[in-house]
Amino acid sequence: MIPLPTGLRARLVITFTLVAVTASTLVATIGFELAKTALITRAENTSLDLVSRELASITFPVGRLRPGEAAPTSRELDRVARALSAPGRGVLIEYGDLLATDGPMTMSDVPNELYGRAKQSVVTQRKIIRNELWLIVGAEVYRDAAGVPEATGLRAFVFFPMRDDESQLATLRSTLTQGGAAIVLIALVVALLSARQVLLPVRRLSAAAQALGQGRLDTRLPVHGQDELAELTARFNDAAAALELSVSELRSLEAMSRRFVADVSHELRTPLTSMTAVADMLSEEAGRLPEAPAEAVRLVLREIERLRELVEHLIEVSRFDAGTATLNVEPVNVADAIQDCLEVRGWSEEVSVNASQGLTANLDPRRFDVIVANLVGNALKHGAPPVLVNARGTENGLEVKVRDHGKGIPREALPHVFDRFFKAGAGRARSQGSGLGLAIARANVHLHGGTISVRPQHPGTLFIVWLPHS
């Protein structure tokens, strides 16, 4: 199956060419038929005039003889046949039992229909005889009898060859075909030029739309003329201007929002430091307090720790949003870096690590620590033991896998686990954690030029981090 063209230019050219082909074919066909009809009509009229004139000039008596008239002889019929004859023609003169011929034709070549109609008037008929087209004129001679035309029984059949007419028609057909081909070729060239001229503004609009999509919001197009394409270009410029204004306002609001988050986070750091110091003192006294006050103190301590973690995460996120996050890459022993991350947070007994001691990679150690801490912390908080960490070198980078054996993340939540403040399941809305840990882990992975993904396991969840060689 031939695929249909989908491009606007191809469709315009094909449509234009089809119209030209149809029009030229129609004109050529009509012209050929008119010329053919005129040529045949002229040949018939000429032949009829010739036969009628020669038959009217017969002087010997035919038909019902009058007193003193003698019946025509074969010589007289031959004279009529020679008068009607010419090179290439065939003539048959029939009168009773007499038959005069001139040429190769016989009475068997005369069509029965023409033979019957020739009794009433001068008639014509075209017939192919021995692979050649002939125009046959048949007529019966009438004699004036007391003012009334009377049939005499003398019939003449003249065969006119039409090879010259056929040759003229063949030449005309060839000329019309060549002319039609030239017209189609010219139409094709005109269609290509017209399509190019028509589609040039469309291509400019496409390029301008692509430029807008790439962020060049100041893109505008010159408006030429007053047609529909000029109106479309003007509308495009208006839409681009409105889009630029809207994006500018959104960027301004986004910058203000980021600055607000950063300012609030930094402002919260000072009171949080004081609160943490007081919380440390309260934690030492909590064991000597009654049960109810001790539980309240422990609740305050947990919320202060949660608030401290949230502020730290907001400050880290604000650095990424502001574009100020940078990498300080150095050779790192991966196994030692993972063990240090777990020991600092007191997770060494809860997590199993599988990494070669000789495995090194060029990383930012602080950001690699954040990546591992957030993934392992997420597994410990929301998964179930055992929590496994595997690290291995690949041909083009470092691969780190973190897996837990809990209930797993719902399948519909998997595409959103790296979104900010996303928590899978309604029951986790007040769970420990800021909802920013996985988003920060992904930001740090991307800063290294790597990738991070999540896959469901049976049971549990698997996070895979790949960091390229720096």
Task: Tell me the pLDDT band of 134, cut-offs 50, 70 and 90.
Answer: very high
Number of helices (H), then strands (E), belonging to the chain: the values are: 9, 12
Task: Tell me the pLDDT band of 157, cut-offs 50, 70 and 90.
Answer: very high
Which tokens belong to 84?
């009607």
Which tokens belong to 445?
């992975």
- Backbone dihedral angles phi then psi of residue 99, each to the nearest 5 degrees: -145, 120
Which residue has better confidence, 12 or 456? 456
Distance, CA of 423 to CA of 286 (rounded, Å): 31
What local confidence, expressed as pLDDT, does residue 427 receive?
44
Long-range Cβ pairs for the range 228-232 (8 Å, 24+): 229/198, 229/201, 229/202, 230/201, 232/201, 232/205
**Looking at residues 262-289, what average pLDDT do you find?**
67
Distance, CA of 183 to CA of 411 (rounded, Å): 65
What local confidence, expressed as pLDDT, does residue 21 receive?
84
| Listed range (45-49, 146-150, 388-392) with the worst mean pLDDT | 146-150
Helices in 326-429 by DSSP H: which ranges? 334-344, 365-382
What local confidence, expressed as pLDDT, does residue 264 receive?
63
Q: Return the closest-CA partner of residue 160 out of 53, 47, 26, 57.
A: 47
**Looking at residues 27-44, what average pLDDT do you find?**
89
Mean pLDDT rounded to a whole number for the chain = 83
Interval 164-188: pLDDT, tens: 888 998 999 898 888 888 888 888 8
Is a pLDDT exceeding 80 seen at residue 278?
no
**Looking at residues 28-46, what average pLDDT do you find?**
89
Task: Tell me the pLDDT band of 261, cut-offs 50, 70 and 90.
Answer: low
Q: Amino acid letter at 134?
A: W
CATH topology of domain 217-325: Helix Hairpins (1.10.287)
What local confidence, expressed as pLDDT, does residue 354 receive?
92
Question: In the 8-state DSSP scheme, what is residue 312?
Answer: H
Secondary structure (H, E, C), 94-109: EECCEEEEECCCCHHH
Interval 232-256: pLDDT, tens: 888 888 888 888 888 888 777 766 7
Which tokens belong to 38?
């005129």
- Backbone dihedral angles phi then psi of residue 178, each to the nearest 5 degrees: -65, -40
pLDDT cut 70: percent of the chain above it: 84
Q: Is 291 exposed, middle or buried (0-12, 13-18, 19+ CB in 10 A)?
A: exposed
Distance, CA of 300 to CA of 283 (rounded, Å): 10
Pick the CATH number of 8-169 from 3.40.50, 3.20.20, 3.30.450, 1.10.10: 3.30.450
**Looking at residues 335-342, what average pLDDT do you find?**
91
**Looking at residues 112-118, what average pLDDT do you find?**
89
Distance, CA of 439 to CA of 448 (rounded, Å): 14
Q: Say whether 326-468 and 217-325 share the same fold.
A: no
Distance, CA of 309 to CA of 434 (rounded, Å): 7
Which tokens belong to 49?
């005039």
Question: In the 8-state DSSP scheme, what is residue 257?
Answer: H
**Looking at residues 135-147, what average pLDDT do you find?**
84
Which tokens belong to 149?
């035309």
Task: Say what the pTM is.
Answer: 0.46
Tell me which CATH code domain 326-468 carries: 3.30.565.10
Q: Taking the CB of residue 328, how many other CB atoms lie within 10 A of it?
A: 9
Q: What angle do CA 161, 167, 170 make, to 5 degrees?
A: 135
208 vs 113, 181, 195, 229, CA distance in Å?
A: 77, 40, 20, 14
Report the relative pairing of strands 387-394 and 351-355 from DSSP bridges: parallel
Task: Tell me the pLDDT band of 429, cut-offs 50, 70 and 90.
Answer: very low
- Encode burial over 84-99: b for 16+ CB neighbours within 10 A, e otherwise: bbeeebbbbbbbeeee
| Listed range (30-34, 154-158, 433-437) with the worst mean pLDDT | 433-437
Distance, CA of 378 to CA of 31 (rounded, Å): 86
Distance, CA of 156 to CA of 105 (rounded, Å): 12
Is a pLDDT exceeding 70 seen at residue 144?
yes
Domain extents for the chain? 8-169, 217-325, 326-468
Q: Taking the CB of residue 400, how many other CB atoms lie within 10 A of it?
A: 24
Task: Tell me the pLDDT band of 424, cut-offs 50, 70 and 90.
Answer: low
Sign of the Cα torsion 181, 186, 189, 194 reads negative
Query: In whole angstroms, how large is the CA radius of gyration of the chain?
Result: 53
Task: Tell me the pLDDT band of 426, cut-offs 50, 70 and 90.
Answer: very low
What local confidence, expressed as pLDDT, does residue 434 receive?
62
Measured in whole angstroms, the distance separating CA 239 from the mean position of its chain's CA atoms is: 26
Is a pLDDT exceeding 90 seen at residue 400?
yes
**Looking at residues 196-217, what average pLDDT do you find?**
81
Is a pLDDT exceeding 60 seen at residue 2?
no
Residues 6+ apart with CB under 8 A from 3: none
Residues 6+ apart with CB under 8 A from 310: 434, 436
- Residue 139 pairs with which residues in a beta bridge? 156
What local confidence, expressed as pLDDT, does residue 5 receive?
59
What local confidence, expressed as pLDDT, does residue 24 receive?
84
What local confidence, expressed as pLDDT, does residue 136 receive?
94
Q: Taking the CB of residue 18, how many other CB atoms lie within 10 A of it?
A: 13
Q: What angle do CA 207, 213, 216 make, to 5 degrees?
A: 80
